[in-house]
Amino acid sequence: MVHTRSLLLSALAGLSAVNAISTIEVKGSKFFTSDGDQFYVKGIAYQLTPEDPLIDATQCGLDAALMKTIGTNSIRVYHVDPDGDHTDCMKAFEDAGIYLWLDLDTFNSQIEQISPHWNQSQLTAFSKVMDEFQQFDNLAGFFVGNEVLTTSNGSVAAPYVKAAARDIKAYRTSKKYREIPIGYSAADIAQLRPMLQNYLACGGNSSETIDFFSLNAYSWCGDSTYEQSGYNVLEQNSTELHIPIFMSETGCNTVRPRTFSDQSAIYGEMADVWSGSIIYEWIEEANDYGLISYGAKVDPASPSAPPDGYPRSGTPTPISPDFPNLSSVWKTLSPSGVKASAYNPTNSPVACPAFTSGAWEVNPTAALPTLGQEYTSGSSQATGASGSGSSSQTGSGSGSASATASPGAAAESLSKELKGVGAVVGGIVAVLAWL
């Protein structure tokens, strides 16, 4: 294992780019690099430790080198410590050509579905994360929320998500940061399609709307199809969307082995509208979604054991057949896209969804909540709702009427318990084969 570790680190060092990595920007309904190439997300969810996986530079280097071998260009991280030093980890991922999609909320600043509110302390917490990570060119985008709405009657929280986007974009402008895309990661709740995506994106004032929308979807399981999985409906719902959309979590594991056959659809017939996907997840945990492990599970009661028994650092070892299956699929999928210079967006801003009692209880003409405002049942000031906020919060998941828990909450649950590139890449592949 020591030999493997040194080889992976050496390989990563050889991947260092001569020039800084290009930044990601939005034009119409697509992502582009600052060099003008369309960008498709090929990502992996990466949350080794609940509080912050981007502190240990050695670990980041090992993981980035292995990710690079299968064509990964993005990671998603759900929580970070804005007071930490992330320079070396971000450099390790940049050297591997990997971008970061980062959630702005911390464990005590997320927007809630029950009694939603948006206040100065939340904005300050979001701003601290932005201050720390805006300096990195491989920071691709920020999420203002992850699965805030998790039930069909949670729509009254949507204006607070949109208010957060408005205020963090205003902060970005006031600090003269580059226009880092600001978006939202949604649970796939059938009853909220496509109202939530359209509401967050609607309006003629782009300073008050999200820059991209993403979905955590687990409806394609095993040998499903474009139609059986409902992916055809997801595409139909987003064809007129004027901002980019991609899957911020995917990779159903209820049918084994995972073949990741949905990727062929996402980067194939859906590629004109959708901008890629993020596979859940890198590390093996109790939810059994891991692509790699850092060793066998140990007794959590043993000395120095991780709380759940799953090692969270060390040499990443691919889990078969998931890791090689994903590698094989991704290697066949390289949509060419369009050059920014040749792309002229034609979609107009989508219309705001109408208020529908019992389904989408947001007044499309109401002003967004002001900073410090809290939702009051029966109030029509912010949402036009009759006060039917959800009485109990469940997990999210595939777009069925009875949504199942999204595995993306796994790291969060643990935290709450705790409170010549070609030649080099060829060398890495050889190391992987040896593993």
* Three-state DSSP state, 186: strand
Residue 349 tokens, joined: 């801003």
Residue 27 tokens, joined: 């034009």
Q: Would you call 249 a catalytic residue per the annotation? A: yes
DSSP one-letter code for 22: P
DSSP one-letter code for 342: G
Neighbouring C-alpha atoms within 13 Å toward the C-beta of 58? 8
β-partners of residue 103 are 143
> Catalytic pick from 25, 94, 132, 249?
249
Q: How far is CA 150 from the centre of its chain?
A: 16
Residue 70 tokens, joined: 């299968």
Q: Would you call 147 a catalytic residue per the annotation? A: yes
Residue 63 tokens, joined: 């993981």
> Catalytic pick from 94, 132, 147, 284?
147
CA distances from 409 to 82, 109, 416 (A): 20, 16, 11
The answer to whether 186 and 246 have CB atoms below 8 angstroms apart is: no
The H or E element spanning position 309 is none
Contacts of 409 by beta carbon, 8 Å cutoff, 6+ apart: 147, 395
* Three-state DSSP state, 24: strand
> Per-residue DSSP letters for 345-403?
--PPPPPPPPPBTTTB---TTSPPPPTTEE--TT--SSS---S---SS-----SSSSSP
Residue 93 to residue 16: CA distance in whole angstroms: 10
Residue 299 tokens, joined: 């007794």
List, by residue number, the catalytic residues: 147, 249
